[in-house]
Structure 1
Amino acid sequence: MKDVIHFYGMDFRWLNVLDLLLVVFLVIQLYRLLKGSLAFNIFLGLLVVYAVYFLVRFLEMPILSNILQNFINVGIIAIIIIFQPEIRKFLLVLGKKTPLSKDSFLTKLFLPDKFKSYREEEHVINEIVTAVSHLANRNVGALIIIATTYRVKFDSAASITIDSNVSARLIECIFEKGSPLHDGALIVVGHRILAAKVILPVSDNPDLPTRVGLRHRSAVGITEHSDNLAIVVSEERGTISYAEDGTLTMDVSPEDLKSKLYTLLVDGYA
Protein backbone atom coordinates (compact mmCIF):
# COMPACT_ATOMS: atom_id res chain seq x y z
CA MET A 1 0.00 0.00 0.00
CA LYS A 2 1.39 3.37 -0.99
CA ASP A 3 1.95 5.85 1.78
CA VAL A 4 2.28 8.84 -0.57
CA ILE A 5 -0.60 10.73 -2.24
CA HIS A 6 0.06 12.57 -5.49
CA PHE A 7 -1.96 15.75 -5.88
CA TYR A 8 -1.31 18.27 -8.67
CA GLY A 9 2.34 17.36 -8.84
CA MET A 10 2.83 17.51 -5.05
CA ASP A 11 3.43 14.52 -2.80
CA PHE A 12 1.67 14.08 0.52
CA ARG A 13 2.16 11.32 3.10
CA TRP A 14 -0.79 9.92 5.02
CA LEU A 15 0.58 11.56 8.15
CA ASN A 16 0.43 14.92 6.38
CA VAL A 17 -3.25 14.35 5.67
CA LEU A 18 -3.87 13.30 9.29
CA ASP A 19 -1.96 16.37 10.47
CA LEU A 20 -4.17 18.62 8.34
CA LEU A 21 -7.38 16.96 9.56
CA LEU A 22 -6.33 17.38 13.19
CA VAL A 23 -5.61 21.08 12.63
CA VAL A 24 -9.03 21.55 10.99
CA PHE A 25 -10.67 19.75 13.92
CA LEU A 26 -8.90 21.98 16.45
CA VAL A 27 -9.85 25.14 14.54
CA ILE A 28 -13.51 24.05 14.52
CA GLN A 29 -13.43 23.37 18.28
CA LEU A 30 -11.83 26.77 18.92
CA TYR A 31 -14.53 28.38 16.78
CA ARG A 32 -17.26 26.74 18.89
CA LEU A 33 -15.54 27.73 22.13
CA LEU A 34 -14.98 31.38 21.20
CA LYS A 35 -18.17 32.05 19.21
CA GLY A 36 -20.19 34.85 20.77
CA SER A 37 -17.31 36.41 22.69
CA LEU A 38 -15.04 39.37 21.93
CA ALA A 39 -12.13 36.96 21.70
CA PHE A 40 -13.75 35.54 18.56
CA ASN A 41 -12.72 38.59 16.51
CA ILE A 42 -9.13 38.20 17.75
CA PHE A 43 -9.27 34.54 16.76
CA LEU A 44 -10.35 35.47 13.22
CA GLY A 45 -7.52 38.00 13.01
CA LEU A 46 -4.99 35.35 14.00
CA LEU A 47 -6.36 33.00 11.34
CA VAL A 48 -5.85 35.72 8.73
CA VAL A 49 -2.24 36.27 9.88
CA TYR A 50 -1.47 32.55 9.66
CA ALA A 51 -3.14 32.26 6.25
CA VAL A 52 -1.07 35.16 4.91
CA TYR A 53 2.08 33.64 6.41
CA PHE A 54 1.58 30.30 4.65
CA LEU A 55 0.71 32.12 1.42
CA VAL A 56 3.90 34.22 1.37
CA ARG A 57 5.95 31.13 2.20
CA PHE A 58 4.36 29.28 -0.70
CA LEU A 59 5.08 32.24 -3.00
CA GLU A 60 8.67 32.34 -1.67
CA MET A 61 8.59 35.94 -0.44
CA PRO A 62 11.45 35.90 2.11
CA ILE A 63 11.07 39.38 3.63
CA LEU A 64 7.39 39.04 4.46
CA SER A 65 7.98 35.45 5.56
CA ASN A 66 10.61 36.55 8.07
CA ILE A 67 8.47 39.40 9.38
CA LEU A 68 5.42 37.20 9.87
CA GLN A 69 7.54 34.39 11.33
CA ASN A 70 8.91 36.74 13.99
CA PHE A 71 5.41 38.06 14.69
CA ILE A 72 4.08 34.52 15.14
CA ASN A 73 6.96 33.53 17.43
CA VAL A 74 6.27 36.46 19.75
CA GLY A 75 2.53 36.08 19.27
CA ILE A 76 2.42 32.70 21.01
CA ILE A 77 2.99 34.41 24.36
CA ALA A 78 0.43 37.07 23.49
CA ILE A 79 -2.11 34.39 22.59
CA ILE A 80 -1.71 32.74 26.01
CA ILE A 81 -2.26 36.11 27.73
CA ILE A 82 -5.18 37.24 25.55
CA PHE A 83 -7.01 33.91 25.61
CA GLN A 84 -6.31 33.10 29.26
CA PRO A 85 -10.02 32.94 30.24
CA GLU A 86 -10.87 30.76 27.22
CA ILE A 87 -7.90 28.44 27.87
CA ARG A 88 -8.94 28.12 31.51
CA LYS A 89 -12.52 27.33 30.49
CA PHE A 90 -11.30 24.73 27.98
CA LEU A 91 -9.17 23.03 30.64
CA LEU A 92 -12.08 23.05 33.10
CA VAL A 93 -14.32 21.36 30.54
CA LEU A 94 -11.55 18.89 29.72
CA GLY A 95 -11.01 18.13 33.41
CA LYS A 96 -14.66 17.16 33.82
CA LYS A 97 -14.16 14.43 31.21
CA THR A 98 -11.11 12.80 32.78
CA PRO A 99 -11.32 9.37 34.47
CA LEU A 100 -10.66 10.98 37.88
CA SER A 101 -13.28 13.74 37.69
CA LYS A 102 -16.13 13.71 40.18
CA ASP A 103 -18.61 12.47 37.54
CA SER A 104 -16.44 9.58 36.36
CA PHE A 105 -17.09 5.89 36.93
CA LEU A 106 -13.81 5.39 38.79
CA THR A 107 -14.55 8.15 41.29
CA LYS A 108 -18.03 6.80 41.96
CA LEU A 109 -16.74 3.23 42.25
CA PHE A 110 -13.94 3.91 44.76
CA LEU A 111 -15.47 6.83 46.70
CA PRO A 112 -15.39 5.91 50.39
CA ASP A 113 -18.74 5.31 52.09
CA LYS A 114 -18.09 8.07 54.63
CA PHE A 115 -18.42 10.65 51.82
CA LYS A 116 -21.86 9.36 50.80
CA SER A 117 -23.75 11.04 53.62
CA TYR A 118 -25.34 14.17 52.25
CA ARG A 119 -27.04 15.63 55.27
CA GLU A 120 -24.80 18.70 55.24
CA GLU A 121 -25.30 19.21 51.49
CA GLU A 122 -29.07 18.93 51.90
CA HIS A 123 -28.99 21.48 54.72
CA VAL A 124 -27.00 23.93 52.57
CA ILE A 125 -29.37 23.43 49.63
CA ASN A 126 -32.51 23.97 51.73
CA GLU A 127 -31.11 27.08 53.40
CA ILE A 128 -30.05 28.65 50.10
CA VAL A 129 -33.34 27.88 48.32
CA THR A 130 -35.33 29.20 51.28
CA ALA A 131 -33.35 32.44 51.35
CA VAL A 132 -33.52 32.93 47.58
CA SER A 133 -37.29 32.29 47.56
CA HIS A 134 -37.90 34.85 50.32
CA LEU A 135 -35.67 37.43 48.62
CA ALA A 136 -37.42 36.93 45.27
CA ASN A 137 -40.88 37.28 46.85
CA ARG A 138 -39.81 40.65 48.30
CA ASN A 139 -37.94 41.84 45.18
CA VAL A 140 -34.62 41.99 47.03
CA GLY A 141 -31.65 41.58 44.70
CA ALA A 142 -28.98 38.98 45.48
CA LEU A 143 -25.95 37.26 43.95
CA ILE A 144 -24.71 34.00 45.49
CA ILE A 145 -21.71 32.03 44.18
CA ILE A 146 -21.54 28.31 44.98
CA ALA A 147 -17.88 27.28 44.70
CA THR A 148 -17.54 23.63 43.69
CA THR A 149 -14.03 22.50 42.80
CA TYR A 150 -11.94 25.31 44.26
CA ARG A 151 -12.28 28.65 45.98
CA VAL A 152 -13.24 31.66 43.92
CA LYS A 153 -10.42 34.17 43.50
CA PHE A 154 -11.52 37.65 44.49
CA ASP A 155 -10.20 40.92 45.89
CA SER A 156 -10.03 40.29 49.64
CA ALA A 157 -9.34 43.97 50.33
CA ALA A 158 -12.74 45.03 48.94
CA SER A 159 -14.75 42.13 50.45
CA ILE A 160 -15.85 41.26 53.97
CA THR A 161 -14.81 37.88 55.41
CA ILE A 162 -17.66 36.08 57.19
CA ASP A 163 -16.71 32.39 57.59
CA SER A 164 -20.08 31.27 58.92
CA ASN A 165 -22.45 28.34 58.59
CA VAL A 166 -24.92 28.62 55.72
CA SER A 167 -28.14 30.09 57.12
CA ALA A 168 -31.20 31.38 55.26
CA ARG A 169 -31.75 34.14 57.82
CA LEU A 170 -28.12 35.27 57.55
CA ILE A 171 -28.28 35.34 53.72
CA GLU A 172 -31.48 37.40 53.82
CA CYS A 173 -29.97 39.86 56.31
CA ILE A 174 -26.86 40.30 54.15
CA PHE A 175 -28.90 41.25 51.07
CA GLU A 176 -31.40 43.53 52.80
CA LYS A 177 -31.39 46.90 51.06
CA GLY A 178 -30.26 48.70 54.19
CA SER A 179 -27.41 46.29 54.86
CA PRO A 180 -23.84 47.53 54.23
CA LEU A 181 -23.09 44.10 52.67
CA HIS A 182 -25.91 43.90 50.12
CA ASP A 183 -23.78 45.15 47.18
CA GLY A 184 -21.61 42.53 45.53
CA ALA A 185 -21.69 38.75 45.76
CA LEU A 186 -21.89 36.22 48.58
CA ILE A 187 -19.41 33.33 48.33
CA VAL A 188 -20.38 29.87 49.61
CA VAL A 189 -17.57 27.32 49.80
CA GLY A 190 -18.48 23.81 50.91
CA HIS A 191 -20.83 24.17 53.86
CA ARG A 192 -19.83 27.69 54.89
CA ILE A 193 -20.33 31.27 53.81
CA LEU A 194 -16.84 32.55 53.08
CA ALA A 195 -17.27 36.25 52.26
CA ALA A 196 -19.74 38.96 51.25
CA LYS A 197 -19.62 42.21 49.29
CA VAL A 198 -17.36 40.51 46.73
CA ILE A 199 -16.70 42.28 43.43
CA LEU A 200 -16.77 39.86 40.46
CA PRO A 201 -15.69 40.19 36.80
CA VAL A 202 -18.46 41.33 34.47
CA SER A 203 -19.12 39.33 31.30
CA ASP A 204 -18.74 41.11 27.97
CA ASN A 205 -20.75 38.44 26.11
CA PRO A 206 -22.78 40.36 23.49
CA ASP A 207 -25.38 37.56 23.31
CA LEU A 208 -26.73 38.27 26.80
CA PRO A 209 -30.22 39.83 26.86
CA THR A 210 -30.10 43.61 26.99
CA ARG A 211 -32.52 43.68 29.92
CA VAL A 212 -30.17 41.91 32.33
CA GLY A 213 -28.28 44.04 34.82
CA LEU A 214 -24.92 44.05 36.55
CA ARG A 215 -25.72 41.12 38.86
CA HIS A 216 -26.59 38.82 35.96
CA ARG A 217 -23.53 39.88 33.97
CA SER A 218 -21.32 39.31 36.99
CA ALA A 219 -22.86 35.85 37.45
CA VAL A 220 -22.04 34.96 33.86
CA GLY A 221 -18.60 36.55 34.16
CA ILE A 222 -17.48 34.47 37.14
CA THR A 223 -18.74 31.22 35.59
CA GLU A 224 -16.91 31.95 32.35
CA HIS A 225 -13.61 31.69 34.22
CA SER A 226 -14.37 29.12 36.94
CA ASP A 227 -16.23 25.89 37.59
CA ASN A 228 -18.88 27.40 39.87
CA LEU A 229 -22.61 28.08 40.00
CA ALA A 230 -23.94 31.64 40.35
CA ILE A 231 -27.48 32.29 41.62
CA VAL A 232 -29.13 35.66 40.92
CA VAL A 233 -32.28 37.28 42.29
CA SER A 234 -33.53 40.18 40.20
CA GLU A 235 -34.42 43.25 42.22
CA GLU A 236 -36.60 44.67 39.43
CA ARG A 237 -38.57 41.53 38.50
CA GLY A 238 -38.29 39.34 41.58
CA THR A 239 -37.19 36.39 39.46
CA ILE A 240 -34.53 33.72 40.05
CA SER A 241 -31.79 32.85 37.56
CA TYR A 242 -28.55 30.91 37.63
CA ALA A 243 -25.37 30.87 35.53
CA GLU A 244 -23.04 27.95 34.84
CA ASP A 245 -20.18 27.56 32.34
CA GLY A 246 -20.88 31.08 31.05
CA THR A 247 -24.53 30.28 30.25
CA LEU A 248 -27.41 32.15 31.91
CA THR A 249 -30.67 30.31 32.69
CA MET A 250 -33.37 32.83 33.58
CA ASP A 251 -36.72 32.79 35.40
CA VAL A 252 -36.41 29.44 37.15
CA SER A 253 -38.66 28.28 40.00
CA PRO A 254 -37.37 27.48 43.51
CA GLU A 255 -37.98 23.81 42.70
CA ASP A 256 -35.83 24.09 39.57
CA LEU A 257 -33.08 25.77 41.59
CA LYS A 258 -33.22 23.05 44.25
CA SER A 259 -32.98 20.38 41.54
CA LYS A 260 -29.96 22.16 40.05
CA LEU A 261 -28.24 22.37 43.44
CA TYR A 262 -28.89 18.69 44.10
CA THR A 263 -27.36 17.85 40.73
CA LEU A 264 -24.33 19.99 41.52
CA LEU A 265 -23.72 19.13 45.19
CA VAL A 266 -25.25 15.68 45.64
CA ASP A 267 -25.74 13.75 42.41
CA GLY A 268 -22.19 14.54 41.30
CA TYR A 269 -20.92 12.18 43.99
CA ALA A 270 -23.83 9.76 44.10
Structure 2
Amino acid sequence: MDVINFYGYNFRWLNLLDLAIVIFLIIQLYRLLKGSLAFNIFLGLLCIYAAYFLVRALKMPILTNVLQNFINVGLIAIIIIFQPEIRKFLLVLGKKTPLSKDSFLTKLFLPDRFKSYKEEEHIINEIITAIGHMAASQTGALIVLATTYRVKFDTASSIPIDGNVSAKLIESIFEKNAPLHDGALIIVGNKILAAKVILPLSENPNLPTRIGMRHRSAVGITEHSDNLAICVSEERGTISYAEDGILTQDVSLEELKVKLYETLVEGL
Protein backbone atom coordinates (compact mmCIF):
# COMPACT_ATOMS: atom_id res chain seq x y z
CA MET A 1 0.00 0.00 0.00
CA ASP A 2 1.74 3.15 -1.27
CA VAL A 3 -0.93 5.70 -0.25
CA ILE A 4 -2.40 6.31 3.21
CA ASN A 5 -5.73 8.11 3.56
CA PHE A 6 -5.92 10.27 6.68
CA TYR A 7 -9.11 12.32 7.16
CA GLY A 8 -9.48 12.79 3.43
CA TYR A 9 -5.79 13.59 2.80
CA ASN A 10 -3.63 11.15 0.87
CA PHE A 11 -0.07 10.53 2.07
CA ARG A 12 2.62 8.40 0.49
CA TRP A 13 5.23 6.56 2.52
CA LEU A 14 7.82 8.89 1.03
CA ASN A 15 5.92 11.87 2.46
CA LEU A 16 6.14 10.35 5.93
CA LEU A 17 9.84 9.61 5.43
CA ASP A 18 10.36 13.18 4.24
CA LEU A 19 8.64 14.52 7.37
CA ALA A 20 10.62 12.19 9.65
CA ILE A 21 13.95 13.32 8.16
CA VAL A 22 13.02 17.00 8.56
CA ILE A 23 12.00 16.43 12.21
CA PHE A 24 15.25 14.55 12.85
CA LEU A 25 17.35 17.38 11.38
CA ILE A 26 15.47 20.01 13.40
CA ILE A 27 16.00 18.03 16.62
CA GLN A 28 19.72 17.68 15.89
CA LEU A 29 20.01 21.42 15.18
CA TYR A 30 18.12 22.17 18.40
CA ARG A 31 20.50 19.98 20.43
CA LEU A 32 23.49 21.57 18.71
CA LEU A 33 22.40 25.18 19.21
CA LYS A 34 20.78 24.89 22.63
CA GLY A 35 22.52 27.12 25.11
CA SER A 36 24.39 29.15 22.47
CA LEU A 37 23.83 32.71 21.30
CA ALA A 38 22.69 31.39 17.91
CA PHE A 39 19.73 29.57 19.50
CA ASN A 40 17.49 32.67 19.53
CA ILE A 41 18.32 33.31 15.87
CA PHE A 42 17.38 29.71 15.11
CA LEU A 43 14.00 30.16 16.83
CA GLY A 44 13.41 33.38 14.88
CA LEU A 45 14.09 31.62 11.58
CA LEU A 46 11.68 28.82 12.53
CA CYS A 47 8.99 31.43 13.22
CA ILE A 48 9.58 33.03 9.80
CA TYR A 49 9.32 29.67 8.05
CA ALA A 50 6.15 28.81 9.99
CA ALA A 51 4.63 32.18 9.06
CA TYR A 52 5.53 31.61 5.40
CA PHE A 53 3.75 28.24 5.24
CA LEU A 54 0.76 29.70 7.10
CA VAL A 55 0.23 32.68 4.78
CA ARG A 56 0.76 30.45 1.73
CA ALA A 57 -1.91 28.02 3.03
CA LEU A 58 -4.24 30.97 3.64
CA LYS A 59 -3.55 32.19 0.06
CA MET A 60 -2.25 35.63 1.03
CA PRO A 61 -0.11 36.44 -2.03
CA ILE A 62 1.56 39.67 -0.87
CA LEU A 63 2.84 38.30 2.44
CA THR A 64 3.75 35.05 0.71
CA ASN A 65 5.94 36.91 -1.81
CA VAL A 66 7.53 39.05 0.90
CA LEU A 67 8.41 36.08 3.08
CA GLN A 68 9.52 34.03 0.06
CA ASN A 69 11.99 36.77 -0.97
CA PHE A 70 13.18 37.09 2.62
CA ILE A 71 13.77 33.34 2.83
CA ASN A 72 15.65 33.28 -0.49
CA VAL A 73 18.01 36.06 0.64
CA GLY A 74 18.12 34.67 4.16
CA LEU A 75 19.68 31.38 3.02
CA ILE A 76 22.94 33.21 2.30
CA ALA A 77 22.73 35.01 5.63
CA ILE A 78 22.14 31.69 7.42
CA ILE A 79 25.33 30.23 5.93
CA ILE A 80 27.32 33.27 7.09
CA ILE A 81 25.78 33.55 10.57
CA PHE A 82 25.78 29.85 11.37
CA GLN A 83 29.13 28.98 9.76
CA PRO A 84 30.65 27.58 13.00
CA GLU A 85 27.44 25.70 13.88
CA ILE A 86 27.12 24.26 10.35
CA ARG A 87 30.72 23.08 10.54
CA LYS A 88 30.11 21.38 13.88
CA PHE A 89 26.84 19.85 12.64
CA LEU A 90 28.59 18.33 9.63
CA LEU A 91 31.36 17.08 11.91
CA VAL A 92 28.84 15.34 14.18
CA LEU A 93 26.98 13.98 11.15
CA GLY A 94 30.22 12.63 9.70
CA LYS A 95 30.85 10.61 12.85
CA LYS A 96 27.62 8.67 12.25
CA THR A 97 28.20 7.73 8.60
CA PRO A 98 28.80 4.09 7.58
CA LEU A 99 32.47 4.91 6.88
CA SER A 100 33.18 6.86 10.07
CA LYS A 101 35.79 5.65 12.51
CA ASP A 102 33.14 4.33 14.95
CA SER A 103 31.02 2.53 12.38
CA PHE A 104 30.50 -1.21 12.02
CA LEU A 105 32.08 -1.28 8.54
CA THR A 106 35.24 0.45 9.69
CA LYS A 107 35.65 -1.88 12.67
CA LEU A 108 34.92 -4.86 10.41
CA PHE A 109 37.69 -4.06 7.95
CA LEU A 110 40.07 -2.66 10.58
CA PRO A 111 39.75 -5.19 13.41
CA ASP A 112 41.39 -4.44 16.74
CA ARG A 113 43.66 -7.48 16.62
CA PHE A 114 45.68 -5.87 13.83
CA LYS A 115 46.34 -2.69 15.82
CA SER A 116 49.19 -1.93 18.16
CA TYR A 117 48.36 0.42 21.02
CA LYS A 118 51.75 0.52 22.74
CA GLU A 119 52.49 4.08 21.64
CA GLU A 120 49.03 5.32 22.61
CA GLU A 121 49.27 3.63 26.01
CA HIS A 122 52.64 5.29 26.62
CA ILE A 123 51.19 8.71 25.76
CA ILE A 124 48.18 8.13 28.03
CA ASN A 125 50.38 7.08 30.95
CA GLU A 126 52.64 10.11 30.52
CA ILE A 127 49.66 12.50 30.40
CA ILE A 128 47.99 10.87 33.42
CA THR A 129 51.24 11.05 35.39
CA ALA A 130 51.67 14.74 34.58
CA ILE A 131 48.02 15.57 35.33
CA GLY A 132 48.21 13.72 38.65
CA HIS A 133 51.31 15.62 39.77
CA MET A 134 49.92 19.00 38.66
CA ALA A 135 46.56 18.38 40.35
CA ALA A 136 48.32 17.47 43.59
CA SER A 137 50.40 20.65 43.49
CA GLN A 138 47.50 22.80 42.20
CA THR A 139 49.40 23.73 39.07
CA GLY A 140 47.05 25.13 36.44
CA ALA A 141 47.21 23.44 33.04
CA LEU A 142 45.38 23.22 29.74
CA ILE A 143 46.21 20.38 27.33
CA VAL A 144 44.53 19.91 23.94
CA LEU A 145 44.69 16.56 22.14
CA ALA A 146 44.02 16.93 18.42
CA THR A 147 42.45 13.64 17.33
CA THR A 148 41.23 13.68 13.73
CA TYR A 149 43.06 16.69 12.32
CA ARG A 150 45.57 19.34 13.33
CA VAL A 151 43.93 21.94 15.51
CA LYS A 152 44.09 25.50 14.18
CA PHE A 153 45.45 28.16 16.49
CA ASP A 154 47.26 31.50 16.49
CA THR A 155 50.87 30.67 15.65
CA ALA A 156 51.99 34.24 16.38
CA SER A 157 51.46 33.85 20.12
CA SER A 158 52.54 30.21 20.47
CA ILE A 159 55.94 28.63 20.96
CA PRO A 160 56.71 25.56 18.80
CA ILE A 161 57.94 22.54 20.76
CA ASP A 162 57.85 19.47 18.47
CA GLY A 163 58.92 17.15 21.28
CA ASN A 164 57.93 13.70 22.44
CA VAL A 165 55.09 13.46 24.95
CA SER A 166 56.56 13.00 28.43
CA ALA A 167 55.29 13.78 31.91
CA LYS A 168 58.43 15.69 32.88
CA LEU A 169 58.22 17.94 29.81
CA ILE A 170 54.53 18.66 30.38
CA GLU A 171 55.10 19.47 34.05
CA SER A 172 58.08 21.73 33.28
CA ILE A 173 56.03 23.69 30.74
CA PHE A 174 53.20 24.35 33.22
CA GLU A 175 55.48 25.04 36.22
CA LYS A 176 54.13 28.22 37.81
CA ASN A 177 57.22 30.32 37.22
CA ALA A 178 57.99 28.92 33.75
CA PRO A 179 57.68 31.32 30.81
CA LEU A 180 55.37 28.92 28.89
CA HIS A 181 52.83 28.12 31.60
CA ASP A 182 50.19 30.56 30.28
CA GLY A 183 48.03 29.28 27.45
CA ALA A 184 47.47 25.77 26.16
CA LEU A 185 49.69 22.85 25.26
CA ILE A 186 48.84 21.19 21.92
CA ILE A 187 49.46 17.47 21.41
CA VAL A 188 49.15 16.03 17.90
CA GLY A 189 49.76 12.30 17.55
CA ASN A 190 52.81 11.41 19.62
CA LYS A 191 54.28 14.93 19.62
CA ILE A 192 53.87 18.06 21.70
CA LEU A 193 53.32 20.51 18.88
CA ALA A 194 53.31 23.87 20.68
CA ALA A 195 52.89 25.62 24.03
CA LYS A 196 51.64 29.00 25.23
CA VAL A 197 48.80 28.75 22.70
CA ILE A 198 45.94 31.25 22.92
CA LEU A 199 42.58 29.55 22.30
CA PRO A 200 39.13 31.02 21.58
CA LEU A 201 36.88 31.51 24.61
CA SER A 202 33.46 29.89 24.64
CA GLU A 203 30.46 32.23 24.64
CA ASN A 204 28.10 29.57 25.99
CA PRO A 205 25.97 31.36 28.63
CA ASN A 206 25.12 28.05 30.35
CA LEU A 207 28.66 27.42 31.54
CA PRO A 208 29.17 27.74 35.31
CA THR A 209 29.94 31.33 36.27
CA ARG A 210 32.74 30.30 38.64
CA ILE A 211 34.95 28.77 35.94
CA GLY A 212 37.86 30.81 34.61
CA MET A 213 39.39 31.52 31.22
CA ARG A 214 41.28 28.22 31.17
CA HIS A 215 38.06 26.19 31.28
CA ARG A 216 36.26 28.52 28.86
CA SER A 217 39.15 28.12 26.43
CA ALA A 218 38.89 24.34 26.78
CA VAL A 219 35.20 24.46 25.87
CA GLY A 220 35.81 27.00 23.10
CA ILE A 221 38.40 24.89 21.24
CA THR A 222 36.10 21.84 21.32
CA GLU A 223 32.93 23.62 20.19
CA HIS A 224 33.99 23.67 16.53
CA SER A 225 36.62 20.94 16.34
CA ASP A 226 36.96 17.25 17.12
CA ASN A 227 39.45 17.60 19.98
CA LEU A 228 39.73 16.75 23.67
CA ALA A 229 40.82 19.48 26.10
CA ILE A 230 42.00 18.69 29.63
CA CYS A 231 42.13 21.28 32.43
CA VAL A 232 43.72 21.36 35.87
CA SER A 233 42.34 24.05 38.15
CA GLU A 234 44.97 26.25 39.76
CA GLU A 235 42.61 27.21 42.60
CA ARG A 236 41.27 23.78 43.59
CA GLY A 237 43.54 21.29 41.87
CA THR A 238 40.54 19.58 40.28
CA ILE A 239 40.57 17.92 36.85
CA SER A 240 38.10 18.62 34.06
CA TYR A 241 37.84 17.87 30.36
CA ALA A 242 35.88 19.33 27.46
CA GLU A 243 34.62 17.51 24.38
CA ASP A 244 32.14 18.62 21.70
CA GLY A 245 31.61 21.86 23.61
CA ILE A 246 30.59 20.07 26.83
CA LEU A 247 32.58 20.57 30.03
CA THR A 248 32.85 17.65 32.48
CA GLN A 249 34.22 18.79 35.83
CA ASP A 250 35.79 17.17 38.90
CA VAL A 251 36.79 13.89 37.29
CA SER A 252 39.19 11.41 38.86
CA LEU A 253 42.44 10.29 37.27
CA GLU A 254 40.84 6.91 36.52
CA GLU A 255 37.89 8.57 34.78
CA LEU A 256 40.27 10.74 32.78
CA LYS A 257 42.30 7.68 31.81
CA VAL A 258 39.15 5.99 30.50
CA LYS A 259 38.35 9.10 28.43
CA LEU A 260 41.89 9.16 27.03
CA TYR A 261 41.58 5.50 26.03
CA GLU A 262 38.26 6.28 24.33
CA THR A 263 39.86 9.17 22.45
CA LEU A 264 43.29 7.79 21.54
CA VAL A 265 42.67 4.03 21.37
CA GLU A 266 39.03 3.27 20.71
CA GLY A 267 38.82 6.28 18.42
CA LEU A 268 41.38 4.84 16.01
- TM-score over 0.5 for the alignment? yes
Give the aligned partner of residue 77 of structure 1: 76
- Does the 8 A contact of 2:161 with 2:193 survive in 1? yes
Say if 2:225 is the partner of 1:226: yes
**Cα deviation digits, residues 213-233 of structure 1 (max 9, x gap):** 111111111111111110000
Inter-CA distance 2–198: structure 2 relative to 1 (3 Å threshold): closer
Give the aligned partner of residue 64 of structure 2: 65
Distance 2:15 2:125 in 1: 57
Say if 2:108 is the partner of 1:130: no
Say if 2:18 is the partner of 1:3: no
TM-score (norm: length of structure 2): 0.91
Q: Aligned AA for 2:192? A: I
Inter-CA distance 258–25: structure 2 relative to 1 (3 Å threshold): closer
Shift of 1:109: 3.2
Inter-CA distance 110–60: structure 2 relative to 1 (3 Å threshold): closer
Q: State the superposition RMSD in angstroms.
A: 2.2
Shift of 1:105: 3.0
**Cα deviation digits, residues 155-182 of structure 1 (max 9, x gap):** 1112111111111111111112222211
Distance 1:52 1:267 in 2: 46
Distance 2:229 2:204 in 1: 16
Distance 1:114 1:20 in 2: 42
Distance 1:60 1:112 in 2: 59
**Cα deviation digits, residues 215-254 of structure 1 (max 9, x gap):** 1111111111111110000011111111111111111111
Shift of 1:106: 2.9
Shift of 1:35: 1.7
**Cα deviation digits, residues 77-105 of structure 1 (max 9, x gap):** 22122222222222222222223222233
Shift of 1:267: 2.7
Give the aligned partner of residue 86 of structure 1: 85
Give the aligned partner of residue 144 of structure 2: 145
Inter-CA distance 107–27: structure 2 relative to 1 (3 Å threshold): closer
Q: Identity of aligned pairs, percent?
A: 76
Inter-CA distance 191–21: structure 2 relative to 1 (3 Å threshold): closer
Question: How many residues get paired?
Answer: 267
Secondary structure class of the residue paired with 1:251: coil
Distance 2:154 2:32 in 1: 28
Say if 2:237 is the partner of 1:215: no
Q: Aligned AA for 1:79? A: I
Distance 1:267 1:202 in 2: 29
After superposition, residues 135-214 of structure 1 pair within 5 angstroms as 135-214=134-213
Larger mean Cα displacement after TM superposition, 140-149 or 253-262: 253-262
Distance 1:2 1:176 in 2: 69
Give the aligned partner of residue 47 of structure 1: 46
Secondary structure class of the residue paired with 2:151: coil
Say if 2:26 is the partner of 1:24: no
Say if 2:103 is the partner of 1:104: yes
Secondary structure class of the residue paired with 1:207: coil
Distance 2:24 2:148 in 1: 29
Distance 1:2 1:95 in 2: 32
Where structure 1 has 5 or more consecutive residues not aligned to the other structure, the ranges are none
- Does the 8 A contact of 2:153 with 2:199 survive in 1? yes
Inter-CA distance 21–263: structure 2 relative to 1 (3 Å threshold): closer
- Does the 8 A contact of 2:29 with 2:89 survive in 1? no
Q: Aligned AA for 2:75? A: I
**Cα deviation digits, residues 98-151 of structure 1 (max 9, x gap):** 232222333333338896122211111111111111111111111000111001
Distance 1:250 1:125 in 2: 19
Give the aligned partner of residue 236 of structure 1: 235
Distance 2:62 2:47 in 1: 18
